[in-house]
Structure 1
Amino acid sequence: MSELTAHLDVPLDRGAPAAARRAVTAVLGGWGFRNADWLDAAAVVVSELVTNAVRHGGGCVALHLEAHDERVIVSVADGSSVVPRRRDPDGDGGRGIALIEALAESWTVENYRGGKRVLVELAPCPRGSAS
């Protein structure tokens, strides 16, 4: 597989995480990623990234996917320069970064157009179909 990319602008409302999950699952499935458990994990990562961007970001939220063979990178950009950090869970959240760390190979943050972009490299997709 050669490099594949997709860019989606995400609406700033409470339906954004669900819309992003559906879009990412459809795009990755269309690119040939078929393992159901892996797609579910990718959807959780995207949901957490978009939720954080909508709740704490500001400005527009942009979702970008890149696939290089079996390597997939998901990134979400927003208008805030505040770097996300792991924190203790409470009634208002605090589980997102821990979930991302559990489901992904790595994550990083970079400055992006006056805000930030959080990049997450997903674990490689297992060969085969649904598990």
Structure 2
Amino acid sequence: MTARVPSPVPPTGATAASARARARAAVEEAWGAAGERPREEDLIDLSLVVSEMVTNAIRHGGGLTGFEVTVERDGVRLAVSDRSDAVPDGAYGVGGFPTTHGGNGYGWPLINRLAEEVTVRHRPRGGKTISARVPPRPALAPDPSGPARPRGGPDGVPSSSEDAAAGRA
């Protein structure tokens, strides 16, 4: 399954919010057609990466000139183009967050933690395209003790049976 949602030249005023909405719709449509439903956690990861990549293109890359989403079985590939030839600091980092704020934010560390296969390709007529693949999160192993349940009564105060089980009778 591969679904491509290209937008070679975004309309004037394209925003991170509109890119997030397009990416989410593409995933829901492609995976829905295959009878699957994306997990909300995966859509949140995707939204964070889209936001950071598009915002970087707008704020630091001279403007967004292209946005493409390709939905694949093993993740979602994003391609964001801008007018700048500069390779961003941290584009190939390991995802460590800065310990001091020297003008750089948390965008690239976040992208590097949530995405794989980050590449920067210079375009022949200037500018660049940054692409990254956002994989689905690994499935969590079921908790052998069963689902979590709220503790205490409606006011959050432990019940007498919970006190006894904790040795506080």
TM-score by length of 1: 0.81
- Report the alpha carbon displacement of residue 75 of structure 1 after superposing the two structures with TM: 0.9
Q: From the CA coordinates, give the structure whose radius of gyration is larger.
A: 2
Runs of 4+ in 1 over 4 A off after TM superposition: none
The amino acid across from 2:72 in the alignment is: H
Q: Which residue of 2 aligns with 1:49?
A: 53
Q: Deviations over 1:5-60 (max 9, x none)?
A: 111343554x7111111121111111115211001100100000000000011254
The one-letter code sitting in structure 1 at the alignment partner of 2:24 is T
SS of the residue corresponding to residue 43 of structure 2 reads helix
- Give the match for residue 67 of structure 2: 63
1:79 alignment partner AA: R
> Does the C-alpha gap of structure 1 residues 92 and 100 become closer, same or farther in structure 2, counting only changes over 3 Å?
same
Identity %: 34
Q: Does 1:7 align with 2:6?
A: yes
Distance 2:114 2:12 in 1: 25
C-alpha separation between the residues in 1 aligned to 2:12 and 2:103? 19
What is the count of residue pairs matched by the alignment?
125
Aligned partners of 1:67 and 1:73 also within 8 Å: yes
Question: Equivalent residue for 1:36?
Answer: 40
- The DSSP-based 3-state class of the residue aligned with 2:88 is coil
**DSSP 3-state at the match of 1:114:** coil
Gaps spanning 5+ residues in structure 2: where? 32-36, 91-96, 140-169
- Does residue 26 in structure 1 map to residue 25 in structure 2? yes
- Distance (Å, rounded) in 1 between the aligned partners of 2:133 and 2:59: 22
CA RMSD of aligned residues (A): 2.4
Question: Aligned partners of 1:12 and 1:111: how far apart in 2?
Answer: 22
Higher strand share: 1
Are residues 1:77 and 2:94 paired?
no
Q: Structure 2-normalised TM-score?
A: 0.64
Alignment partners' CA distance in 2, 1:95 and 1:61: 23
Separation in structure 2 between the aligned mates of residue 23 and residue 124 of structure 1, nearest angstrom: 18
Distance 1:29 1:59, change over 3 A: same
> Secondary structure in 1 aligned to 2:6?
strand
- Per mean C-alpha deviation after superposition, the further-off stretch among 89-98 and 107-116 is 89-98
* Higher-RCO chain (CA-CA 8 Å, sequence separation at least 6): 1
Q: Structure 2 counterpart of 1:16, which letter?
A: T
CA contact (8 A) 1:73 1:121 kept: yes
Summarize the Cα distance change of 1:12–1:58 in structure 2 as closer, same or farther, 3 Å threshold.
farther
CA contact (8 A) 1:10 1:20 kept: no
Q: Name 2:132's counterpart in structure 1.
A: 120
Deviations 1:52-102 (A, max 9, x none): 000011254211111232232111001110111129463855211100011
CA distance in 1, matches of 2:79, 2:63: 16
Gaps of 5+ in 1: none
